[in-house]
Structure 1
Amino acid sequence: MKYFISLILICSSFFVSSQTIEDALSTETKFYNAVDKWVAFPSQKNDSTAVYGFIYIDEHAGFTFRMIGDFKIVDGDFKNIPNDIYKTTIFASRLSKNSRLFALLNEEQQNQLNLPVTPDWLSVYKLQAGDVSYLTNIGNKYNAVGASQNALEPLLKAYAIEPHYEGLEFELGYAYNALFQFEKSIPILEKAIKYDTSNELLYKELGFAFLNLEDIEKAKDVYVKGISIALSENNKIEMAFNLTYGYYKQMDKSNFNLWAKKVREMVKQDSPYIAYLVQMEEQWPE
């Protein structure tokens, strides 16, 4: 029996000490789900070490990863690799839709690396955290990378303070539309348009919401108004094409042809929109 127990201990010790960086790190977290958290990923220079740091949002520059150091695994524990360069140089990289996946560091791993809950320097980026402008900008950053679910919290906080703050209603309506919560976006966008009748982006989002609820008559009314006041040719084309597609889905050939003609008048012959129209026309039932 003593021999058996010793054998288990030896095997267990071997297993722990032979753990690799890849075994220890589950790199499956998108950066926008790791904001204000410690993260790590295997080093490209040495597969037996890893890089760790902190993800935060710079209100103006966006999602950022600040590299703090390197570590290795010793007897199952994370151990810092001393490097004075991290004391004198800031290594920060901006993150985008195509950025890598990260591994979240749990509390035990953070303790092994002697990390605080949050770094002291983070407070610099939180000075205006309760302001409507800050909350709107943060929501915008989440929307821009396709993380509209994350955008809702800061945007709703801002909306509760000052609903007509510039750009806020668009961002909130956009977030709800991106999450297919069209019933929630409509009242927000309708109130926004009453306050700001010349904002073409609001019409674009409101029409999109009605279109997805298959209320094409309301979508048409909104889009027609939006097209009439829009200064951006791209927004005009997008609204006209969306309405055209709405009629295609309803198999309303008369209105489809009417709006397909309008789209063709707006775009160049080599526009992708022309190809889309042709495809719909070719697939139209006889």
Structure 2
Amino acid sequence: MKHLFSLLFFALVSSLQAQNVLKFDKTNVQCEDKWIAYQMDKDSTYIFGFIYIDAQAGLTFNYEGRIKINNNGKFIRIDKIENTTNIKSRLQPSRVAIAEIPESKFTELKIEKTPKWLAIYKSDENSISRLYKWGFMYNGWNECEKALTYLEKADKIDQNYNGLQTELAFSYNALKKYEKAEICLLKAIKINPNDCYTYKELAYSYNSQGKTDDVIKTYFTMVKTCKEENYIQETAFNLAAKYYEAKDKINFKKWKIEAEKWSKTENQITKYLKLMETELNK
């Protein structure tokens, strides 16, 4: 029994040491150009590798093998290096917690901070098309602060690049920097006065700043200009929600009716409007 206790104790110490070295506090979309490890398998090993972005394939994991962490916290590679080359898998954004491998462990794993093969994916990294695409991807993954690191660089190269100002505004709106978003969206409308998505984002920015009259003007511009009725409905819904919050029954009803006319069948927006109306009439 004493020996069993000793074994369990050392296993626990080893596990705690591993946890201290590897902090599982990142998601895969936060680990571009990073060496990472997935959480421990049943055999007490960790799958590790390098995450990068392929312009065609998107977020990608380059598998490098498995590692163990001994009682002293040393990283030990299990797989032979030659058996783990060119094993790549495309990743979908995931909330599964992974760990960034500390740079202090690179020597133990016989890896370089920047793999030589990564160079082929970096040839045009300062081009506006690449900066825009990376920003677009990060916005799609709800990593808007990271998206701005690319989009703001692109903005310095060419403010008129197709879609750039609207993409910048999406980041700013998500980060509650509504005034900056508004500036970008007004620029975008000058470049393309018929883009409904831009108007939708502008209406959202105005709404978030309490500029209700500007939201209403934007809404009626959308009615005249846009074919995307879902964007028009969303804008009317946001106005109705604003009046719901203010407990303004008359204007809520007006914009509820306005929002409902843009869908022939019941959808999530019309369901929410009915719930709001019921609550408001209590």
TM-score normalised to structure 2 length:
0.88
Contact 1:43–1:49 (8 Å) recurs in 2: yes
Q: Find the aligned partners of 2:195 and 2:260 in 1 and give their Cα distance.
A: 24
Residue ranges of structure 1 left out of the alignment (5+ in a row): 1-10
Contact 1:37–1:55 (8 Å) recurs in 2: yes
In the TM superposition, structure 1's runs of 4+ consecutive aligned residues that sit over 4 Å from their partners are 14-18
Shift of 1:252: 3.3
Q: What residue in structure 1 maps to residue 242 of structure 2? A: 246
Q: What residue in structure 1 maps to residue 3 of structure 2? A: none
Indicate whether 1:78 and 2:75 are aligned.
yes
Contact 2:64–2:84 (8 Å) recurs in 1: yes
Stretch moving more, 248-257 or 155-164: 248-257
Stretch moving more, 243-252 or 187-196: 243-252
Indicate whether 1:104 and 2:94 are aligned.
no
1:197-243 deviation digits (Å, cap 9, x = unpaired): 00111111111011011111111111221232122222222122122
Q: What residue in structure 2 maps to residue 153 of structure 1? A: 149
- Relative to structure 1, the CA distance from residue 18 to residue 283 in structure 2 (aligned partners, 3 Å threshold; closer, same or farther) is closer
Identify the match of residue 258 of structure 2 among 241, 259, 262.
262
Indicate whether 1:53 and 2:60 are aligned.
no
Q: What residue in structure 1 maps to residue 36 of structure 2? A: 39
1:6-41 deviation digits (Å, cap 9, x = unpaired): xxxxx9xx9699513445422111223221111112
Contact 1:25–1:41 (8 Å) recurs in 2: no
User: SS of 1:283's equivalent?
Assistant: helix
Q: What residue in structure 1 maps to residue 118 of structure 2? A: 122
Indicate whether 1:133 and 2:129 are aligned.
yes
Counterpart amino acid of 1:223?
Y
User: SS of 2:110's equivalent?
Assistant: coil
Shift of 1:249: 2.5
Q: What residue in structure 2 maps to residue 165 of structure 1? A: 161
Residue ranges of structure 2 left out of the alignment (5+ in a row): 1-5
Counterparts of 1:205-224 in structure 2, within 5 Å, are 205-224=201-220
Counterpart amino acid of 1:118?
T
Counterparts of 1:231-242 in structure 2, within 5 Å, are 231-242=227-238
User: SS of 2:97's equivalent?
Assistant: coil
TM-score normalised to structure 1 length:
0.87
Stretch moving more, 174-183 or 186-195: 186-195
Q: Find the aligned partners of 1:167 and 1:102 in 2 and give their Cα distance.
A: 33
Q: Find the aligned partners of 1:285 and 1:190 in 2 and give their Cα distance.
A: 38
1:132-179 deviation digits (Å, cap 9, x = unpaired): 110011011111111101111100000111112112111100000001
Q: Find the aligned partners of 1:17 and 1:112 in 2 and give their Cα distance.
A: 23
Identify the match of residue 14 of structure 2 among 19, 23, 41.
19
User: SS of 2:130's equivalent?
Assistant: helix
User: SS of 1:242's equivalent?
Assistant: helix
Q: Find the aligned partners of 1:235 and 1:82 in 2 and give their Cα distance.
A: 52
User: SS of 1:42's equivalent?
Assistant: coil
Contact 1:128–1:134 (8 Å) recurs in 2: yes
Identity %: 32
